[in-house]
Structure 1
Amino acid sequence: MDYTTKDVHMLRMSETLELELSAGQSSKPEPKRGLHPPALFQPNLPIQDPAQAQPQTQVELQRWPTQRLEESDLEIQHPNERTKPTWIQRSCTLSLFILVFCLCAVFLGMVYYIYYSPHQGNGNQEILVIPCDSPACQRASVNLSMSADPFTHPCDYFLFSCRPNRPSPDVTGPQREKSRRDLKEKRTRDRKTELLQYLRKILESNDGLASSAVQKAKVFYRTCLDTKSLDMAGVEPFLALIHKLQLGGWPVSGQWNQTDFNSTLSTLMRDYATFPFFNVYVGEDPTDTAAKRNKRYIQIDQPDFLIPIEWNNETEKSQVTREMLLPFLALCERYLELLGASPGSGMIHVGAFISLSSELAVAAAPLSHRRSKGQLYQRFTIKELQHEAPAIDWLGCLQAAFHSQPLFEDDHILLHNLPYIVQMSHIISHWMTRHELRTSGPLHTFMVLNLLHTLLLALDSRFLDTAANLSVALGDPRARQRSLHSKTNALSEPFATAPRWKRCVLETERGFDGVLAHLFREDAASGAAEELSENILSSFKSHLHELKWNDKKTLQFVMNKVQSVTPRIVRPKENTTEAELDLLYSEVSISTHSFFSNYLQLLSFLQKRHSRLLHANSDDTDICSLLQSLSVTISLLGNELIIPMGMFIPPLFHPTYPRAMNYGVMGFLLAKDLLHLFLPDIHSKSATVGALGQCVWSHYLTVTNKDSEGLLLPAAQQQEVWLQYSALQIARKAYQKSLKKHPSDTSISGFSGTRLFLMTFSQVTCDADQYHHLMPLEPSFLITTLCAKSHLCPTNLQCPKTTQRRLPHGC
Structure 2
Amino acid sequence: MSETPIELEPQLSVQPSSQPEPDGGLRPPSLLPQPFPTQDPPHNTQIQQTQIQIQESNPGHQAKPVWINHRRLLLFGLSLCAVILGFIFKHHNPQDRRTDQEGKAVTPCFSPACQLASARLSLSADPFTQPCDYFLSTCGSDRLSPDSWGRLRGQGIPGHPQNPKEKTGWTKRRGQSAQRDDRGLREEETLDRKTVLLKYLREVLESNHSAGSTAVQKTRGFFRSCLDTRSIDTAGAEPFLALIQKLGGWAVSGQWNRTDFNSTLSRLMRDYATFPFFNLYVGKDPNETTLGSTKRYIQIDQPDLLIPIEWNSKTLKSQAKTQTLRPFLASCHRYLALLGAVPNSSMIHVGTFISLSSELAVAAAPLQHRLSTGRLYQRMTIRELQSKAPAIDWLSCLQAAFHPLLLTKDDHVLLHNSLYIQQMSRIVSKWLNRRELSTILTVHTFMVLNLLHTLMPALDSRFSDTENTLAVALGHTEGVAPRWKRCVLETERGFPSVLTHLLSERTAHREAEEMIQNIFSSFKSKLNELNRTDGKSFQSVMKKVQSLIPRLWTTNESYTEAVIDQLFSEVTVDTHGFFSNYVQLLSLWQKRQSQLLAEQAEAPDILSVTPFLLGDELLFPMGMFVPPLFHPSYPRAMNYGVMGFLIAKDILHLILPDIYSQSETVHAVGDCVWDHYLTVTETAGRGGAFPLSAAQQQEVWLQYSALQIALQAYRLSLENDPGDTSISGLSHTRLFLTSFSQVNCDSDPYRDFMPLQPSFLITVICAESDLCPAGLQCPNRTQKHSLRTC
TM norm structure 2: 0.74
Q: Aligned runs of 1:11-50 on 2, under 5 Å? A: 39-41=7-9
Which residue number corresponds to residue 274 of structure 2? 274
Q: Does the 8 Å CA contact 1:124/1:794 hold for their aligned counterparts? A: yes
Separation of aligned partners in 2, 1:435 and 1:122: 93
Question: Which residue of the other structure, out of 611, 616, 627, is the alignment partner of 1:650?
Answer: 627
Q: Percent identity among equivalent residues?
A: 64
The equivalent residue for 1:143 is 120
Match of 1:599 in 2: 582
CA gap of 1:658–1:237, structure 2 versus 1, over 3 A, is same
The answer to whether structure 1 residue 755 and structure 2 residue 768 are counterparts is no
Structure 2 partner of 1:456: 456
Counterpart-to-counterpart distance in 2, 1:148 and 1:686: 36
1:680 maps to what in 2? 657
Aligned runs of 1:322-337 on 2, under 5 Å?
Answer: 328-337=328-337
Give the superposition deviation at 1:562: 2.9
For 2:217, the equivalent position in structure 1 comes to 215
Whether the 8 Å CA contact 1:402–1:611 is kept in 2: the answer is: yes
Q: Which one of 738, 742, 761 corresponds to residue 782 of structure 1? A: 761
Letter in 2 for 1:760: S
Judge conservation of contact 2:629–2:639 (CA < 8 Å) in 1. Answer: yes
Distance between the aligned counterparts of 1:789 and 1:333, measured in 2? Answer: 69
Matching of residue 125 in structure 1 with residue 97 in structure 2: yes
Match of 1:536 among 496, 519, 522: 519
Distance change in 2, residues 1:292/1:40 (3 Å):
closer
Aligned to 2:202: 200
Q: Distance in 2 between matches of 1:332 and 1:689?
A: 55
Structure 2 residue aligned with 1:249: 250
CA distance in 1, matches of 2:674, 2:559: 51
Match of 2:509 in 1: 526
Alpha carbons of 1:304 and 1:680: their partners in 2 closer, same or farther (altered >3 Å)? Answer: farther
Counterpart-to-counterpart distance in 2, 1:299 and 1:475? 31
Pair 1:339–1:579, CA change in 2 (3 A)? same
| Greater mean deviation of Cα atoms: 784-793 or 389-398 | 784-793
How far has the Cα of 1:300 moved from its partner? 2.5
- CA distance, structure 1, for counterparts of residue 750 and residue 357 of structure 2: 30
Instruction: Identify which of 574, 577, 585 aligns with 2:568.
Output: 585
1-side partners of 2:121 and 2:634: how far apart?
13
Is 1:575 paired with 2:558?
yes
Structure-2 change in CA distance of 1:348 and 1:517 (3 Å)? same
Query: Which position in structure 2 is the counterpart of 1:79?
Result: none
Which amino acid in the other structure matches residue 263 of structure 2?
S
TM-score, with normalisation over the residues of structure 1? 0.72
Which amino acid is 1:214 matched to?
Answer: V
How many angstroms apart in 2 are the aligned matches of 1:204 and 1:455?
24
- Kindly indicate whether residue 746 of structure 2 is the aligned counterpart of residue 746 of structure 1: no
Q: Distance in 2 between matches of 1:517 and 1:331?
A: 38
- State the one-letter code of the partner of 1:383: R
Partner amino acid, structure 2, of 1:724: Q
1:509 matched to which residue of 2? 492
Is the CA contact 2:496–2:606 (under 8 Å) kept in the aligned structure 1? no
Matched, 1:224 2:220: no
User: What does the per-residue CA deviation read over 1:9-58, in whole Å, with 9 as the maximum and x for residues that have no partner?
Assistant: xxxxxxxxxxxxxxxxxxxxxxxxxxx996433799xxxxxxxxxxxxxx
Counterpart contact for 1:190–1:765, Cα < 8 Å: no
Contact 1:702 1:807 in 2 (8 A): no
Q: How does 1:349-498 map to 2 (within 5 A)?
A: 349-354=349-354, 356-357=356-357, 360-361=360-361, 363-364=363-364, 375-429=375-429, 431-432=431-432, 438-439=438-439, 441-475=441-475, 497-498=480-481
> CA contact under 8 A between 1:196 and 1:502: conserved in structure 2?
yes
Please tell me the residue identity of whatever aligns with 2:516. Answer: S
How far 1:607 moved relative to its partner?
A: 1.8
- The DSSP-based 3-state class of the residue aligned with 2:297 is strand
8 Å contact from structure 1 (residues 548, 688) kept in 2: yes
Aligned length: 658
Q: Name the counterpart of 1:625.
A: 603
Give the counterpart letter for 1:456 in structure 2: M
CA–CA separation in structure 1 for the residues paired with 2:696 and 2:344: 52
Q: Which amino acid aligns with 2:721?
A: H
Runs of 5+ unmatched residues, structure 2: 13-89, 100-104, 147-189
After superposition, the Cα gap between the structure-2 partners of 1:751 and 1:591, relative to the gap in structure 1 and judged at 3 Å, is same
Aligned-residue offset at 1:459: 0.6
Residue 191 of structure 1 is matched in structure 2 by 193
- The residue aligned with 1:152 is 129
Which deviates further from its counterpart, 428-437 or 581-590? 428-437
Cα distance between partner residues in 2 of 1:296 and 1:555:
33
- Assess, with a 3 A threshold, how the Cα gap between structure 1 residues 355 and 714 changes in structure 2: closer, same or farther: farther
Cα displacement string for residues 327-362 of structure 1 (whole angstroms, at most 9, x for unaligned residues): 555544443343344666445544554555455456
Name 1:667's counterpart in structure 2: 644
Distance in 1, matches of 2:310 and 2:94, equals: 54
Partners of 2:270 and 2:419 in 1: how far apart? 25
Query: By how many angstroms is 1:599 displaced?
Result: 0.7
Per-residue deviation, 1:795: 3.1
Letter aligned with residue 771 of structure 1 = Y
Residues 257-311 of structure 1, C-alpha deviation per residue, up to 9 Å, x if partnerless?
A: 4433322221111110112233223344455489994544323334344445667
8 Å contact 1:530–1:569 — kept in the other structure?
yes
Within 2, Cα distance between the matches of 1:435 and 1:695?
A: 77
Distance in structure 2 (CA, Å) of the matches to 1:687 and 1:308:
49
Cα 1:351–1:810 change in 2 (3 A) is farther
- Larger relative contact order (CA 8 Å, sep ≥ 6): 2
**Which sits farther off after the overlay, 325-334 or 459-468?**
325-334
Equivalence for 2:706: 727
Deviation at 1:383, TM superposition (A): 0.9
Range that drifts further, 133-142 or 595-604: 133-142
Q: Which amino acid aligns with 1:738?
A: S
How far apart are the structure 1 equivalents of 2:780 and 2:254?
Answer: 72
Q: Which has the larger radius of gyration?
A: 1
Contact 1:198-1:649 within 8 A present in 2 as well: yes
Q: Cα RMSD between the aligned structures?
A: 3.9
List per-residue Cα deviations over 1:201-221 (Å, max 9, x = no partner).
111112564221111111111
Q: How many Å separate the matches in 2 of 1:799 and 1:323?
A: 55
Q: Where in structure 1 are there 5+ consecutive unaligned residues?
A: 1-35, 45-117, 170-187, 481-495
Give the CA deviation at 1:513.
1.6
What is the distance in 1 between the residues matched to 2:204 and 2:400?
36
Shift of 1:222: 0.7
**Offset of residue 527 of structure 1:** 1.4
Equivalents in 1 of 2:394, 2:403: separation in Å? 13
Name 1:21's counterpart in structure 2. Answer: none
Distance 1:709 1:291, change over 3 A: closer
